[in-house]
Amino acid sequence: MHAEHVYVGQARNVLPDEAGQGDHLAALGRTAPGHHVDPSREAFGATVFGTDSNPADAADRRPVLDHDPLTGDRSGYLDADTESVYNVGRVTTGHEDDATAYHPEPPTKRDQDLIDGKPWWMAGQ
């Protein structure tokens, strides 16, 4: 990548059947053959900004709950009034210090159950 610096927004990882709770495709893309780079990892060197939170001082900023840039329910990375689009505006206009910090959302209950080894048919219950 030929860039002086890279900024990245990363919504909560969720499984594909959990759409509407976070980015249901990003984790699949990062594990697909030939496309396994996670730019939000420290080793990549990008500055990660917030996409999931709803800062207390900005109740009108919504979290990203989908993989797509624009969605019908207005929860994509570039939809108006999302924390993500606010931060894209900040970093692309030289105000990167005003971007909100990245505070990753914890896994959903189902995802945590699977991480902890609970059988898939009982996860989330």
Do the beta carbons of residue 48 and residue 40 sit within 8 Å? yes
Three-class DSSP category at 48: strand
> Mind listing the pLDDT tens digit of every residue in the chain (125 residues)?
678 889 999 888 888 787 778 888 877 776 677 766 778 888 888 999 989 876 556 667 788 888 889 988 888 999 998 999 999 999 999 999 999 888 877 788 888 888 888 887 788 77
DSSP per residue over 61-104, as a string? PBPP-SSSSS-TTS-STTSTTBHHHHHHHHHHTT-GGGSPBP-P
39: nearest Cα among 15, 3, 14: 3
pLDDT at position 57, please? 61
Locate tokens 């206009």: which residue?
Answer: 93
